[in-house]
Structure 1
Amino acid sequence: MIAAVIDLGTNTFHLVIAKITADGIQVIYKTNLPVKLGEGRINDNIIIPEAYARGLQALQGFNREIEKYQVDVVKAIATSAIRSAANGSNFVNSAKSDAGIDIEVITGDKEAEYIFKGVKATGAIKGTCLIMDIGGGSTEFIICNPDGLHWKKSYDIGAARLMQAYFHSDPISDKDQSAIRDHLDKELGTLKTACNTYRPTQLIGSAGAFETFAGMLDQQLDLNKISTADIDLQNYHTLSKNLIASTHAEREQMPDLISLRVDMIVIAAIITDYVLEASGINSISLSTYDLKMGVLQAISESETS
C-alpha cells in the first residue's frame, strides 16, 4: 500500500509518502514548507490570517502530490499550534473544504507516542534514554529503553512560543536568557522528577533543531541518508555557546543553518542546555526519524497485524 503522512507543525508542514510492505517502509517522496503557522500570535492562541492562508496553500499542494502518487491512506496530524488555537477548528474545516485534507488533531501525549515509535525504528535506543523533540509550539519528552516507553509528557515550551515571549534583544541578552530559564524551572518540574526516577543516560534529539546541530557540527553528514548519529557533547556545547552569543546577522552567515531556524535555534540551544544540566546526561545523539516516521510505523503495524 501507499501511505501519506502530513505533519502540520507550528513552523513547518511536512509531507512524506511511503510504500508499506511486509518488508518494511520505503519513503518514495518527501517535502516540507515553512508555513510558520505560529507566526505573530502563537501565545495568544490565534492563527493569523497570513499564516492561515499559507497553511491552506501548502495543503492544496500536498494534495496534488498525494493524488499523483495514488495514495491509499492519508494521515494528516495537527499538533500544538492548531490544537491550542481558538480558530484551529476553523482551519481544520477549511483544510477539508479547500484542500480535501482530513486533519486529526492529536493530544501532546499522542504526539509523544508517535515520536517514540519513530525514534525506536532507528535502533538508537540502547539503554535508558530521554528523547526530546523541540517543536515550535510544544516540546515532547519521552523516557524509554529498548523494551518500551516508561514516561512521556508534552509541554507548551516550543521554540516559537518562547521566542515570541522572551527573545527581545540581538544577540539574546542575559536578562532574556534568565527569563527563559526561570520559565523552564516553573514548567519542567515533572520532567526533573521523572529523570531522577528513571536516570536516563542518553539524550536523543528528534529531528528538527537536532538535525541542525548535527549538520553544523559535521558538514559532511548527509541527513537524508542516515537515521541516527552521535553528537559530540563537547562540540555541541561549543556550538551552543556560539549560537547564543551571536547576532541574527552572524547566524544568517553560518553554514547549514536554514533561514527558518536562524533565531529559533538560539531558543533550542537554551532548552537543550537546560535539559542536559537538569538531567545530568552526558551523551547526546540525533534521530532523523520523528513523528512522521512514527505515524508511518503505526500505519504499518495496523496493516500487518
Structure 2
Amino acid sequence: MSDFLIDEELLAAIDMGSNSFHLAIARVDHGEVKKVASMSEKVQLAAGLDENKNLTEAAQQRGLACLARFVGRLSSVQANRLRIVATNALRQAKNGHEFIQRAAEILPKPIEIIAGREEARLIYLGVSHTMVNSGRRLVIDIGGGSTELIIGEEFEPIHTESLQMGCVAFTSAYFSDGEINQKNFDKAVVAARKELSGIANTYKTAGWDTVVGSSGTIKACRQITVNMGWSDEKENLTREGLEKLKEKLLKFKHISEVDFDGLKEDRRAVLPAGIAILYAVFDVLELTQLVYSDGALREGVMYDLLGRFQHEDIRDRSVQALMGRYNADPKQAERVVKTAQHLLDGVSKSLNLNTEDGDLLRRAAYLHEIGLAISHGGYHRHGAYLLQHSDIAGFSQIDQNHLSHLVAHHRRKLRSDSRVDVAKVGGSKLVHLSLLLRLAVLLNHSRSDEMLPAIELSIGNEQQWQLSVSGDAKQWPLLVADLHDEQVQFKHWDIELNIQSEQFID
C-alpha cells in the first residue's frame, strides 16, 4: 500500500444502507475529498428481512444487481482505494453471511459490516468535512434501519449513538398497509420517543450550538418545506415547518396519494415513517431548527480511508485507547510487536501476507493482554470477548472478529477443530497470523529486555515451518521447553514446526 495519495488519485466508497445503496468516487485535492461521480439506488434491503430476520431471495437479488452495476463504474479505482461498508440491515440479517459470500463474487473488495456507533462516527466525519466549523454540533442521520445521533466538535465526535429506528423498518411496522392516519403516525412517534428516551438527558446535558441533518429522509423533508415556503430565510428546516409538513401529510389517506413538490417517487413510500421519526427527534431533544449537510456515511468512509493513507489511522488510536483502558503493559506489548514484525518479515512472501495482514498482526500483538484486566485465568478468552463485542472506532465487525480470533488463540492448547473455525473466519491467512502471534508471545515469555537468541523463521511450504535459533540453546532452557511444547500445538493445526539450533535436541 502506498504511504500517501497524490492529488488526482481516486478514492471510492460503497455505502450499503438499509434503504439505499450509494457509490461515491472522488479525487483527493490538497487533502480534501472532491466527489467526481456518484450513483444511488433504492434497494430497500431492510424491507427484505422476513419474520425470522433473514434476507429474502428477492432482496438479495436486488442488492447483488445493484452492486454489479456499481462495479461497472469502478474500473479506474484501485482496490486498495475502495471501501465497501454495510449498515443496519446486514447487521440484523441472520443470513447476512450468505449475501456477503455471493457479493464477494462480484466485488473487488470484501464488504465491511460496521457497528452502529462506527456508522455514527463515519457519518459525523462526512458531515464535519463538508461544513464550516461552527462549534459543537448535533448531527442527525435517519437511515432505513437505524438513526444515528452524534455530538461532536470540529472533526472529533464526543457522543455517538445508533438507535433501532429507521424509515424502512418503521414503514413495515406502522404503515405496512399503506394507510396514513393519526393513529398510525402517533404509534410511530411514540416508538421513536421510546428509542430516544435512553439518550435524551445525556445529549441535552452535553448541549450543542448547531443541529445538522444528513441523508435522504432529512433531505426530503427539508426540500419539501423549502418548496412549500415553510422553511426559514436560510432554507433551514424549522419546528414550525415540520409541524406544517406533518399536518399536510395526515391529509393524505394512503401512501399512494402522497404528493409534494420535489419529492422523488422512490422516497414516497417511506416518507410518513421518516417524518414520524424526525418529529419525535425534534420533540424529545427540543429542537427548533436544523441545517442540512450533503456529507454522509460515504463521504466519511472516504475521509477515513484517506486518513489511513496519511498515517492518521483511527484504528491505531483506538488500539492505544484500549490498551490504556484495560491497563495493558505497553513495554511487553512493544516487545511482542517487534518480534511479530521480525517473524512476519521472514515469511510474508512465502505465505502471501500483505501490508493489511501485517497491520492486523501488529494490532493484535498490542492488544493480546487486555483480558488481564478481567482475570489472569483464561485472559486470552476474556481479551477475545472484549474485542468481539466492544464498539471500537475504525474497525468493522469483520476486523474485530479477526482480532478476536488472534487473541483467543495466542496461548494455551490449540484444538484441531478451532483451526477450522479460524479458517472459516479469515482463511489460511488468519491461521498463519495466529501462529505467528503465538510464536511472538512465546519468545517474550521472560517479559525482559535482555537479548534473545537470534531467531529466523522460514517456510518450506505452508505445512513446514522452520525456526532457526542461533547460539547455544542451553542458555535458554525455558525457551527450549516452550518451543518443544509449541511443536505439539502446531501439529494440532497441521503445521510441522522444525527448530534448528547448534544444541537444540528436537
The two structures share one fold, judged by TM-score above 0.5:
yes
Higher strand share: 1
Letter in 1 for 2:167: A
| Post-superposition offset of 1:302 | 2.1
Whether 1:248 and 2:227 are equivalent positions in the alignment is no
Separation in 1, partners of 2:241, 2:153: 26
Separation in 2, partners of 1:180, 1:42: 20
Q: Secondary structure at the match of 1:5?
A: strand
C-alpha offsets along residues 239-268 of structure 1, whole Å, 9 cap, x if unaligned? 2321243232331x3221112221211111
Letter in 2 for 1:301: G
Separation in 1, partners of 2:158, 2:26: 29
| Residues matched between the structures, number | 297
Whether 1:214 and 2:211 are equivalent positions in the alignment is no
Letter in 2 for 1:250: E
- Structure with higher RCO (Cα < 8 A, 6+ apart): 1
Equivalent runs, 1:141-220 vs 2, <5 Å: 141-146=149-154, 148-168=156-176, 171-219=179-227
* 1:224 matched residue in structure 2: none
Whether 1:258 and 2:277 are equivalent positions in the alignment is no
| Post-superposition offset of 1:23 | 4.0
Separation in 1, partners of 2:132, 2:212: 8
Separation in 2, partners of 1:303, 1:147: 17
| Post-superposition offset of 1:83 | 1.3
Q: Secondary structure at the match of 2:11?
A: strand
| Post-superposition offset of 1:132 | 1.0
Q: Structure 2 vs 1, CA of residues 55 and 190 (structure 1 numbering), >3 Å: closer, same or farther? A: same
Q: Pick one of 11, 15, 34 that aligns with 1:7.
A: 15
Identity, % of aligned positions: 26
Whether 1:274 and 2:280 are equivalent positions in the alignment is yes
Q: Pick one of 58, 61, 70 that aligns with 2:66.
A: 58
Separation in 1, partners of 2:140, 2:50: 21
Which structure is larger by alpha-carbon Rg, 1 or 2? 2
* 1:80 matched residue in structure 2: 88
Unaligned 5+ runs, structure 2: 1-8, 229-233, 312-506
Letter in 2 for 1:149: P
Separation in 2, partners of 1:110, 1:119: 14
Query: Would you say the 8 A contact 1:200–1:281 is kept in 2?
Result: no
RMSD: 2.3
Separation in 2, partners of 1:302, 1:245: 50
Separation in 1, partners of 2:168, 2:12: 26
TM-score, structure 1 normalization: 0.89
Q: Structure 2 vs 1, CA of residues 124 and 206 (structure 1 numbering), >3 Å: closer, same or farther? A: farther
Query: Would you say the 8 A contact 2:15–2:21 is kept in 1?
Result: yes
Q: Structure 2 vs 1, CA of residues 303 and 266 (structure 1 numbering), >3 Å: closer, same or farther? A: same
Query: Would you say the 8 A contact 1:244–1:269 is kept in 2?
Result: no
Letter in 1 for 2:306: S
Query: Would you say the 8 A contact 2:185–2:272 is kept in 1?
Result: no
Separation in 2, partners of 1:86, 1:66: 29
TM-score, structure 2 normalization: 0.55
Separation in 2, partners of 1:134, 1:280: 17
| Post-superposition offset of 1:122 | 2.0
Separation in 2, partners of 1:13, 1:236: 27
| Post-superposition offset of 1:280 | 1.3
Whether 1:291 and 2:297 are equivalent positions in the alignment is yes
Unaligned 5+ runs, structure 1: 221-227
Q: Pick one of 127, 133, 137 that aligns with 2:145.
A: 137
C-alpha offsets along residues 104-142 of structure 1, whole Å, 9 cap, x if unaligned? 010001000000101111225524332111111111111
